[in-house]
Structure 1
Amino acid sequence: MQIMKDVYQLSGVPLATNSNSYVIRAGEQLILIDAGFSDLQWEKMGQMLRFWGLDKLPVTHTLFTHCHFDHAGNAWRARELGSRILAGPGDAKAMEEGDKNCIGYLFGREFRPCKTDEVLEDGRVLSFGDVVIRAIHVPGHSRGSMMYEASLHGKKILFMGDFLAVEPAAPEDDIKVLLAWTGAPDFSGKDYLNSLEKASGLREDILCPGHYHLLYGPDVCRRALLMAYELGKETLPL
């Protein structure tokens, strides 16, 4: 699915796969955000690249929102393509070791360790020609959870991983936000609430969660982030 010019969704609900992965075209290179976990998901991601005529371009960088198996289980495949692997503090180490923080046990599989090329710190800015991506550290769901704010063509698009999701079938013309899963070994309610507060001040044009559906429009995106923070204050275990 094309999200906007030069931004595409490669897996998730439209492709009948578990988690969302995305790709940004930056000139003659591709920047991948998350890589899914299954053989089928990887295959469908390749099909989408071919569908949009992107399959001849190199995937030079893969940015991981977090180390959980459903988002990073295929990290080794991206590395085999020659892609540089980037992840947040803590999660990069988990991916290299394939440890329990990658939660492969929930899927009945072992996480295949993958070397990371760079550990991203909060506020790190990556430039790929006219595409600028800012890394935002949002610990809580995992120790090294990251969001990536891409600026291109006059828009800001936020790749969120599991930071929040949007109810897939609300019964009225409104949104209902879902907070991240709280059961990971390194989950921290206190850190997550602080991250929700931090994100509530962001101004985005498009939100791209790691599961379910996207949100378009600055007013809707702003409201979703504020709603998530208020929900966190009410419900998170601290």
Structure 2
Amino acid sequence: MRLIENVYQTSGVMYGTNSSTYCIDTGEGLVLIDAGFSEKQYEIMRTRRKEDGLGNKKLRDLFITHGHFDHAGNGWLLQKDGVKVYMSAEDGAAVKSGDERTLGSLFGRKFRAFTPDGKVRDGQTFDYGNTQLTVLEHPGHTEGTISILAETNGKKILFAGDIFVLKACNPADELQPEIGWTGGPDYNGTKNLETFRKLKELPPVDLVAPGHGSVYFGDSRKLFEILYHLAEKEAQQ
């Protein structure tokens, strides 16, 4: 589904999958954000690209926001397609070993370990034709969680992984975001709070694209302010 020019959602609730994945048509190949969980989701992602007119375009790079199964599980399949996979050093080590940090036991199957092609760091940029990507280190949900800030066709998009989830608004049409899952073996509450402070200070973006739930076209500053206060309350508990 086309979200804005050059940016597509290729899996998520609307397509019958738990996690969301995204695709950017850079004019120099397709750049993917997150890999999804299962072979079923892999096929849905491929079908969606075809339906959106991207089926004949070259798959170039994949950025995985963190090493949990539902976001990194298909990394090995996409590598077989010739895609180069980029992750943080910390979560890259998790998927290389396939250890408990990937949450295989939670998903009821063994994680298929793979070695990312490159390690990324905070502030690192990637230029692709009509698109520039910037890596933002946002640890807490996992030790090496990253977000990807994309700029394309004059618009800014934040691909935020599992830092937070956007639920349906309440009957008063008020935002109902929630902090991402805090039960992982390498969750760090102190770092998570710092991540939300960084989000609160981020310049406005046109589209927020989390790893679960809904995307958001509204006022990103308002959303991040709400999330920061939620993170503060959680840190005080």
| TM-score between both structures, scaled by the size of structure 2 | 0.97
The alignment partner of 1:60 has SS state of strand
* Separation (CA, whole Å) in 1 of partners of 2:56 and 2:235: 45
* Separation (CA, whole Å) in 2 of partners of 1:178 and 1:142: 16
Q: How does 1:32-47 map to 2 (within 5 A)?
A: 32-47=32-47
- What residue identity is the alignment partner of 2:55? D
* Separation (CA, whole Å) in 2 of partners of 1:159 and 1:148: 5
Aligned to 2:220: 221
* Separation (CA, whole Å) in 2 of partners of 1:2 and 1:130: 16
Aligned to 1:139: 139
RMSD of aligned alpha carbons = 1.1
Q: CA deviation at 1:95?
A: 0.9
Aligned to 1:98: 98
The alignment partner of 1:214 has SS state of coil
Aligned to 1:207: 208
Aligned to 2:64: 64
Deviations 1:124-144 (A, max 9, x none): 011111200000000000001
Q: How does 1:97-136 map to 2 (within 5 A)?
A: 97-136=97-136
* Separation (CA, whole Å) in 1 of partners of 2:102 and 2:182: 14
The alignment partner of 1:150 has SS state of strand
The alignment partner of 2:89 has SS state of coil
* Separation (CA, whole Å) in 2 of partners of 1:129 and 1:8: 17
Deviations 1:108-131 (A, max 9, x none): 111101111111100101111120
Q: CA deviation at 1:169?
A: 4.8
* Separation (CA, whole Å) in 2 of partners of 1:169 and 1:226: 16
- 4+ aligned runs moved over 4 Å, structure 1: none
The alignment partner of 1:23 has SS state of strand
After superposing the two structures, state which structure 1 stretch, 183-192 or 164-173, moved more.
164-173
Aligned to 1:79: 79
Percent of aligned positions that are identical: 36
The alignment partner of 1:135 has SS state of strand
Aligned to 1:153: 153
Q: CA deviation at 1:50?
A: 0.7
Aligned to 2:230: 231
Deviations 1:175-227 (A, max 9, x none): 1111011110000000000111011111211100000001103xx21111111
- What residue identity is the alignment partner of 2:213? Y
* Separation (CA, whole Å) in 2 of partners of 1:108 and 1:159: 27
The alignment partner of 2:40 has SS state of helix
Deviations 1:74-122 (A, max 9, x none): 0001100100010012001111111111111101111101111111100
**Does 2:12 match 1:12?**
yes
- What residue identity is the alignment partner of 2:153? H
The alignment partner of 2:126 has SS state of strand
Q: CA deviation at 1:237?
A: 6.5
Q: Tell me how many residue pairs correspond in the alignment.
A: 236
- What residue identity is the alignment partner of 2:160? M
Q: CA deviation at 1:172?
A: 2.3
Contact 1:32–1:62 (CA under 8 A) maintained in structure 2: yes
